Structure 1
Amino acid sequence: MASSLKIVLRKKKNNDGTYPLALRVTVNRKTTYIYLGHNLKESDWDAVNQKVKKSYPNAVRLNHFILQKKTEISDNLLTVKSQTKEVVLSTVRKTMAPTTEASFFEQATLFIDNMHKAGKYNRVKTDQTRINHFRDFLKGKDIPFSEITVPLLNRYQAFLKGSRGISERTIVNHLLIIRTIYNQAIKGGLVDNKAYPFGKGKIAIKFPESVKIGLSPEEVKIIEELDLSENDYFHHARNIWLFSFYFAGVRISDVLRMKWSDLQNDRLYYAMGKNLKAGSLKVPEKALRIINQYRMDEKKNDLIFPELKVLNDLNDTYNVQRKISYAVKRLNKALLHVAKQANITKPLTMHISRHTFGNISGEKIPVQMLQKLYRHSSVITTIGYQANFINKTADDALEAVIGS
């Protein structure tokens, strides 16, 4: 049985620019790879000598690990040779597979790849940044899941707050991605959950409450009546914002996907992209006046608004989400100018249209109807969201004590 062993970087690049480190086993001119749970940049790898360069953090420790694994697998290969007359490559791989624990960043790469394949552009972008922050905290080295402990995560939170200046809510998002990847490894049978660092008495994932501020009816009226004739794009951004508001703060990603065929019998039919809940609403006269401004535009992909008309394939979810992300940034920048011209000091963004509807609706609409308008899956979500805008009881209680 002719055989050889060589440590190599596989040529399938990860999203972070690194390559998986693997041991290449060749038996009778057939090859298999055994991954070692580490990822490196090409600039940190000495392919001739099969070792990590000194430029890599903890190079000495990783080189020792590589040598140890190569020796271990070489010994296993000799054992297989002595015990088996005819060697099948799959048997060799099963026999020699290393027993090292799965590494966090190897699983993180798989997680990001799955998000990419699912077309979740925003998740890929934000989660990769959070994963990179964890890597920076660890000074570039990989880590087995068993070493992700409560004390380590407490130090990581302090690092994010002190060195990065990250808010409490964003810190929770950073912990959440670690927990998600940890759970992925547990479900895949790669990690024992005995050392799981999350849950009661450990690291608890709890989002701090955020302040949601919407515009008043008077401020909406100012925006509606503002003369923006000298700038077509500011006028367009105002149209998109108002259109969203007129349909109970429908998300901008859904607005930009809307098609002429969604308009039937004076109603707008659409399924919300976030949870796929479908429904229809009567088109308000104010919204109809906005739609009519786009009837003479290019009828590409049946889209009402122009932002996604540059795409040839609306089924390419990843590129659609990427284009929406770029469009939202541009629209929000235009809304800054709209707010300035309207003398509105509150933040004016596409998402604020949803808060504005919540603020103005207040206690005027039954919560069950608001759930339907918001397309929430649970009425509890609606109650929690609307609580941000119902202040009358608290205001009356305060006035009862201090007087008017």
Structure 2
Amino acid sequence: MNNITYRFELASRPNRDGLHVIYLRITANRKHKRIKTPVAVKTADFNPFPKIVPNRTPQWIKGVGPAVTQQNELLYGVWNNAVKQHAELVKAGGTETAETLVNHIKQPPSTITVGVFADQFLELVQRHSIGYEKQVKSKVKAFVAWIGREAPLKNISLDLLQRYELYLNQQGVSKTNQHYHFSRIKRMTNEAIRLELLEKDPFLHFEMPPDKPQPRLKLTDAQIQAIENLDLGKGRKRTDAKGRKYELGEWVPVARSLYLFSFYNGGIRASDIIQLRYCNIVDGRCEYQMNKTSKLMSSKLSAKSKEILKQFHRSGAPAYGFLFALLSDEAPYAKQVTYDEKKRMPRAIQVQLDNDVSSILVMINRALKDIAKLAGIEERLTFHTARHSFADKARRKMKESKNVSIDDIRNALGHTRLDTTQRYLNSFDREGLDSAMDAIFDD
């Protein structure tokens, strides 16, 4: 059986992640069979004929880093396992066919570690939005830190998941947040199962923590009015927890204006407001694509919204210029206006834009704490409560007027599904239940 040859080759078609699975092709007497390996890569990262150096693992996968090293070691293990079992077959008097050899070979147990596979998995997640990547990365890295990077991937089991749930409970993590933790971990284990690195699904009999909707803070009309009426003129002081007085920062009036602009325009999300351009204001309307879903939005500007825009107007600003001038018109992402244009930007530029937006939001939410204190609002005020407050006001108006429907509210919020809007509004409807209970008992 000296005419047996081995060679790695890529699957002709990519998988759903755009990667090609690597197969070990075994040829005997001009006939061949293929063994699937647990490694999948981009075409450009595959080297079918690596340089052979004594005492070194051949580099079938190009690049550097622990994930690449582990992938090459996995391939080398498959190769050596085939050669070893070929020798055993010869010793046992086996026939000289590739089919016999492939049927005889058993895949070696995977030795890939949790840390290395997590790195490989997070590379796949980069094909999604930056926001989703951050969510997945934070949850997966927390899990890897708990189990240990060097733990074998096969150690992920039902018992381990239950112990991790107990750990999260001890850390005071809410059930909803636990649900997000495990949903991200499950995404990773599903990928491992697909690559045949895990034999059993550890989540098969695991009871996921419930994804219960959290209470949504919304402001009353009186609280919105109190924010509008605040005197934020120069020289206004704030007092910290120790009684020390400071000048209000420049972000305070900016945060108030953006918060109210969101409230008066359907609860526009912070990332969308920060990225609004002059070209998004058309014939008295605000027209833009939501960064979260790419959905086209269009709302009529109210008189109060127009007054806010006047405060930030810059003569001579380009059409792609940022409306509130919180991002630079000179930034490498500035001229990419539409959802598709942003998606086509190099990954590094997408990350820069996301980081810049996140930094601005931190400053806005910090300023909103001062605004809440000045307005006598005891609840924790964040930018997203403007969206909640709009939705609640719309819900109350819907009960008072036939001119407002739940579908109108759905469109204003940019929800694709009506049941999403219904769940959103139900979380605010305590007043309606209170009125019903009073009527039942004639209180």
**Which TM-score applies when normalising by structure 1?**
0.74
- Is this contact kept in 2: 1:371–1:382, CA < 8 A? yes
Match of 1:58 in 2: none
Instruction: Determine if the alignment matches structure 1 residue 158 to structure 2 residue 178.
Output: no
Match of 2:370 in 1: 337
- Is this contact kept in 2: 1:118–1:318, CA < 8 A? no
* Equivalent residue in structure 1 for 2:217, among 213, 220, 234: 213
Shift of 1:190: 2.9
Shift of 1:325: 1.1
- Is this contact kept in 2: 1:269–1:281, CA < 8 A? yes
Instruction: Determine if the alignment matches structure 1 residue 320 to structure 2 residue 353.
Output: yes
Instruction: Determine if the alignment matches structure 1 residue 356 to structure 2 residue 384.
Output: no
Q: Are the structure 2 counterparts of residues 22 and 110 from structure 1 closer, same or farther at C-alpha, using a change threshold of 3 Å?
A: closer
Q: Which amino acid aligns with 1:395?
A: D
Match of 1:90 in 2: none
Task: Map 1:59-208 onto structure 2 (within 5 A).
Answer: 75=84, 100=110, 104-116=114-126, 118=128, 120=130, 122-145=131-154, 147-162=155-170, 164-186=171-193, 188-191=194-197, 195-198=200-203, 201-204=205-208, 206-208=210-212
Superimposed CA distance per residue, residues 216-257 of structure 1 (whole angstroms, 9 cap, x where no aligned partner): 001101111111122532101101111111111111111111
Distance in 2 (alpha carbons) for counterparts of 1:22 and 1:347: 46
Shift of 1:169: 1.7
Q: How many equivalent residue pairs?
A: 344
Q: What's the secondary structure of 2:268's corresponding residue?
A: coil
Q: Are the structure 2 counterparts of residues 160 and 204 from structure 1 closer, same or farther at C-alpha, using a change threshold of 3 Å?
A: closer
Superimposed CA distance per residue, residues 97-138 of structure 1 (whole angstroms, 9 cap, x where no aligned partner): 955276544442233223445451x33434323222212322
Instruction: Determine if the alignment matches structure 1 residue 6 to structure 2 residue 84.
Output: no
Q: What's the secondary structure of 2:434's corresponding residue?
A: helix
Distance in 2 (alpha carbons) for counterparts of 1:392 and 1:332: 28
Distance in 1 (alpha carbons) for counterparts of 2:85 and 2:316: 67
Q: What's the secondary structure of 2:312's corresponding residue?
A: coil
- Is this contact kept in 2: 1:237–1:334, CA < 8 A? yes
Q: Are the structure 2 counterparts of residues 6 and 74 from structure 1 closer, same or farther at C-alpha, using a change threshold of 3 Å?
A: farther
Q: Are the structure 2 counterparts of residues 130 and 386 from structure 1 closer, same or farther at C-alpha, using a change threshold of 3 Å?
A: same
Superimposed CA distance per residue, residues 7-61 of structure 1 (whole angstroms, 9 cap, x where no aligned partner): 69999566xxx565448xxxxxxxxx3348xxxxxxxxxxxxxxxxxxxxxxxxx
Instruction: Determine if the alignment matches structure 1 residue 399 to structure 2 residue 438.
Output: yes
* Equivalent residue in structure 2 for 1:302, among 308, 321, 325: 321
Match of 2:421 in 1: 382
Q: Are the structure 2 counterparts of residues 393 and 124 from structure 1 closer, same or farther at C-alpha, using a change threshold of 3 Å?
A: closer
Distance in 1 (alpha carbons) for counterparts of 2:264 and 2:424: 18
The percent of aligned pairs where both chains have the same amino acid is 22
Deviates most, 347-356 or 164-173: 164-173
Q: Which amino acid aligns with 2:190?
A: N
Deviates most, 226-235 or 321-330: 226-235
Q: What's the secondary structure of 1:364's corresponding residue?
A: helix
Distance in 2 (alpha carbons) for counterparts of 1:77 and 1:287: 76
Higher relative contact order (CA 8 A, sep 6+): 1
Q: Which amino acid aligns with 2:358?
A: S
Deviates most, 2-11 or 128-137: 2-11
Task: List alignment gaps of at least 5 residues for structure 2.
Answer: 6-51, 92-104, 235-248, 335-341, 343-348, 399-404
Distance in 2 (alpha carbons) for counterparts of 1:140 and 1:174: 17
Task: List alignment gaps of at least 5 residues for structure 1.
Answer: 24-32, 37-65, 83-94
Distance in 2 (alpha carbons) for counterparts of 1:239 and 1:98: 63
Match of 2:239 in 1: none
Shift of 1:364: 2.1
